[in-house]
Amino acid sequence: MRAYERLIKYAKIHTASSEDASKTPSSARQFDLANILADEMREMGVSDVRVDEHCYVYGKIPATKGFESVTPIGFLAHLDTVPDFPGENVKPRVIENYDGGAIALGESGRTLDPADFPHLKTLAGKTLIVTDGTTVLGADDKAGVAEIMTAAELLLGADMPHGPVSIGFCPDEEIGHGASLLDLDLFGAELGYTVDGGSVCDIEYENFNAAGAEVTFRGFNVHPGSAKNVMVNAAKLAMEFDSMLPQADVPSMTEGYEGFFHLLSMNGNVESAKLTYIIRDHSAETFSARKKCMEHIAKTMNERYGEGTVTLTMTDQYRNMIEMVKPRFEVVEKAFSAAKACGMTPTASPIRGGTDGAQLSFRGLPCPNLPTGSYGHHGPYEHAVVEQMDQCTVLILQIIKEFAAG
């Protein structure tokens, strides 16, 4: 079975995680896919297959004779889809010999258009998988799941020497929990790869440093007719706070390695107000400076309006994986070498977000991210390229070969 056929099968299984849950997995429906994958792995001959109580799926392919001392490597993907756009009743549509133009997505009124996704122009002649415009496709990250499963089946059916290979699938990546409860001893790898990227050429080993910030404002409410020199409007204070942040450092005006402050929500009245932000930057130094900027604004406003007027609470969320990948950089070098052997021209793009690989890297498993050949994630414009999914599957196999070759 080819990877795209598996994607179509897995996409129809509803696995959206839930922001509101306090347990792992956040949604029991993720077990539906986990158990299917476990059964498929057992059928193809994967060893030590299990699904634990938190919906983590484990499997191993033992080394071929004479290659037991090769560095144990692992490949991981996540089971869940985003909770904030429908992931149920997915109806994947296969478009053969794509003409490079706009695609009407079912009867939804939405169009997958090269004007919005310029890379579509480069895909003329390829085979695309798209949605009907009412749901996500779920290629994030069921394309990665499908590619790992297909690579495992091909490896087990081939006469190809290899070292120990581990397979893992995690729940709740889309809500930031991801690999936090993955049992690394049970997983059994020394180096790993998440298969959760996009463009077929991108091998990612840098991500944002990340923090969340909540800013509350205390006002003083009196009758507006007698408010002179008395009223303090908390909603206006919130607007003032935001105006003092660098106004060009927002997601819609930044790219590449450029960081940002992102205002997620705001609410309030004269009496009280609250702003919620996320703070992102690839550079640890600039990330620290961004947090200090917020602290300075809060301090300045409290000096002006009175101590306790502004309360700032910041929480670190994750860090740039490169810090932990650099000491074992062969995990990146092997991926680049494998990509070139597959006829690809690999590039290193920074992830403008987080990844299970960052979490795993800081837990002791250096874990860059491999591409999946899917695009437009987290919404109805999600799409995958059949031929690129095949390439990503071959890339996994070639990485295994690279490690076996020493």
Q: Mark whether 80 is an active-site residue.
A: yes
Which DSSP helix (H) or strand (E) runs through 51? strand 47-51
Please spell the DSSP secondary structure of 154-218, one letter per residue. HHHTS------EEEEEES-GGGT-GGGG--HHHH--SEEEEE---STTB-B--B-EEEEEEEEEE
Closest to 184 measured CA to CA, from 194, 172, 192? 192
* CA 11/CA 141 separation, integer angstroms: 10
CA-CA distances (angstroms) from residue 248 to 212, 220, 251, 350? 19, 32, 9, 20
Q: Which residue among 141, 172, 173, 206 is the active-site one?
A: 173
Active-site annotation holder among 80, 172, 249, 402: 80
CA terminus-to-terminus distance, the chain: 30
- In degrees and rounded to multiples of 5, residue 206 shows phi and psi of -135, 140
Indicate the pairing of strand 73-78 with strand 165-170. Answer: parallel
Asked if residue 35 lies in contact with residue 47, where contact means CB atoms within 8 angstroms, the answer is: no
- Separation between Cα atoms, residue 280 and residue 141, nearest integer Å: 23
Q: Is 126 left (phi over 0), alpha (psi -120 to 50) or beta?
A: beta
Respond yes or no: is residue 196 known to be catalytic: no
Q: Which residues are catalytic?
A: 80, 173
